[in-house]
A and B are shown apart, each in its own frame.
Chain A
Amino acid sequence: MKEIIKVRNLTTKFGKKIIHDNIDITIYEGEIYGILGASGSGKSTLLREMILLEDRFKGTIEIMGKNVKKLSLKEEIELKKNWGVLFQFGALFSSLTVLENISVVLEEYTKLPDEFIEKTAFSKIKLVGLNEDVAYQMPKSLSGGMVKRAALARALALDPKLLFLDEPTSGLDPVSARAFDSLIKELHSFFKPTVVMVTHDPQTIVNVLDRFCILIDKKVVFEGTFKEAVNSKNEKVQKFLKPILMEIE
């Protein structure tokens, strides 16, 4: 298997507060990878470091073979075209309609004719399970779950090879959350993107993730599949998994 993201000797310090202490993780091409851990364990920071929003760290992060700290501006944009990011609260552009939020990406990066872009945007709105009527609405008039779906449609606009999801099912009702899970699995089976997600949702962890890492006390205490985690002898891992296993039963 080919590595798509390699994190090596990563140490993050904000002032005197240590967030990550010398962690290594490896994400392979085509898998659905989860970053797990308790609140405040630096999961979101790790994700932000991968998507170039945070650079106060020591060590290396390689994405598609490129060290993210040594990118030229052009390489950076090339790299960004290959990924889509779903933020926890959607982060839709509040001055644009839902349709424009999705089509703006395609308008910027492709030479497709406008009518085709519109059609694509509409079909992606449909794909993420939204009604076509929301297309002309402004983000502020959508509910939390709809914002999340619209934001996923925007993240999918360029058919990314890498999809970063920050707590995709948080704030959704259980039915929508499971629908979201199966949507991600379905997309994954057709377009084979590598998916990296931060999540707390036990159902997602068991049903969707191929592999995951667990961050506890600034360190990665475990990296592997769910089965391996269940069989792990590490006390911290078992303590972390206990509520998840209970939930599943």
Chain B
Amino acid sequence: MFWMSVVKMLKIESDKNLIRLIGVLDKNTIPDIYFLKEKKNLIIDLKEIKSIDYEGALFLIEVSKSNKLINMSSSVKEIYDFVGSTLKDLNIPAPPDIFTQTKDYVLKIIDAIKENTLNFLLFFGEFIYFLIFLITHPWKFRFKETAAVMVKAGAGALPIVGLTSFLVGVVMAYQGAVQLSKFGANIFIVDMLDISMFREIAPLISAIVVAGRSASSFSAEIGVMKLTEEIDAMKTLGFEPFWFIVIPRVVAMMIAMPLIVFFADMIGVFGGMIISFIDLNIGFDMFLERTKEVLALKHVFIGLGKAPFFGTVIALIGTYRGLQVRNSTQDIGKYTTKSVVNAIFWVIALDSLFSIILAKLGI
């Protein structure tokens, strides 16, 4: 139709100081005559201008500062005056310069660190408060939400945790087998696999996988709830978000994590058993026999005992970062990334802390 097929044209005729513009002056044709802005003392005849748009009028105003416009038709004049009236007291503020920007940036970082520390302390305090509340008012506990989180974040993690620890078991057994068979100490593969798997590897692997899975999902979930004002709605209804959102997740992860770790223990050792059988010729029966001898129960319990702490840290960081989302969609990406990175870091830091403490205690 004609709307799309109109060819917008602007012709320029010049005669010494007189420039005659013919046709349509709009945002598509301005680039052709933009050079006029640099010229001085020209007389520009607008008699043949057929139509003009906002940008066209703005351009004419710019040009009129050093040149003279003549023969403006009344329709052009109307738009020209209208645009002129909006420009009357327009002063374009300078964009912030590099120095102020850097200063602002540094101040912002310092502020963020201050606020972050304070916020986390507040959050942690609230956590302790509600933990005590949970112990004193156990009947108010939200069982349904907790169970739902356990299914989603706990049972849902089993396939990937299983696969990961199976592969880690295989790799460890494989690497160990090469070294041990050099000494003919084949049977010690069982000691190595059992103790390291139960005590360190399985808890750490499951915690890292769960941190990647659940910390991110908690943050994103809660972040969206904040953006859509669901959290605010809960507050106005008297549902304390901490009690309804944070505590169920923390408790669920606290309970689910040891179960996940136990599952990872089994699968990981099973992966090692297969390689021991293939590479070192140690049958399943021999492997289990040796396990009974070397695997003290304390190793199993140390591994499982760390799990609730990992679960708590993951849930706390996931929910904390989610609640930090303020008012833009970008925040969700930002805080989800932070929550995963923080969760993985704190799991590893906590694990080393346990190692040091247990070593000092001689366990």
Q: Answer yes or no: are A and B bound together in one complex.
A: yes
With beta carbons under 8 angstroms apart, the residue of B3, B58, B90, B326 that contacts A82 is B3
| Residue B353 at the chain A interface, CB threshold 8 Å | no
Count, chain B residues at interface, CB 8 A: 32
> CB-CB < 8 A to A112: which residues of B?
27, 30-31, 34, 55
Output the nearest chain B residue to A64 by Cβ-Cβ distance. Answer: B3
Most buried by A among B54, B82, B327: B54
The stretch of A128-136, A167-175, A219-227 that contacts the partner chain: A128-136
Q: CB distance B93 to A123 under 8 Å?
A: no
The stretch of A17-25, A114-122, A206-214, A229-237 that contacts the partner chain: A114-122
Q: CB distance A132 to B27 under 8 Å?
A: no
Kindly provide the distance from the CB of B100 to the nearest chain A CB, expressed in whole angstroms. 11
Output the nearest chain B residue to A158 by Cβ-Cβ distance. Answer: B27
Q: CB distance A133 to B31 under 8 Å?
A: no
Q: CB distance B93 to A133 under 8 Å?
A: yes
Cα distance, A136 to B328, chains bound together (Å): 17
Output the nearest chain A residue to B5 by Cβ-Cβ distance. Answer: A78
> CB-CB < 8 A to B330: which residues of A?
94-95
**Chain A interface category by residue count:** 35 or more
| Residue A111 at the chain B interface, CB threshold 8 Å | yes
Majority secondary structure, B binding face: helix
> CB-CB < 8 A to B62: which residues of A?
116, 119
Q: CB distance A123 to B27 under 8 Å?
A: no
Q: CB distance B31 to A113 under 8 Å?
A: yes
Q: CB distance B55 to A132 under 8 Å?
A: no
- Which residue numbers of A lie inside 8 Å of B, CB to CB? 64-66, 75, 78-79, 82, 94-95, 106, 110-113, 116, 118-120, 122-124, 126-127, 132-133, 135-136, 138-140, 156, 158-159, 161, 186, 190-191
- Which residue numbers of B lie inside 8 Å of A, CB to CB? 1, 3-4, 26-28, 30-31, 34, 53-55, 58-59, 62, 78-79, 82-83, 86-87, 90-93, 95-96, 326-330
Q: A110-B28, A126-B90, A139-B328 are in contact. List 13 more A-B contacts (CB 8 A).
A: A64-B4, A94-B328, A94-B330, A110-B55, A119-B58, A119-B62, A120-B58, A133-B93, A135-B93, A140-B328, A159-B53, A159-B54, A190-B82
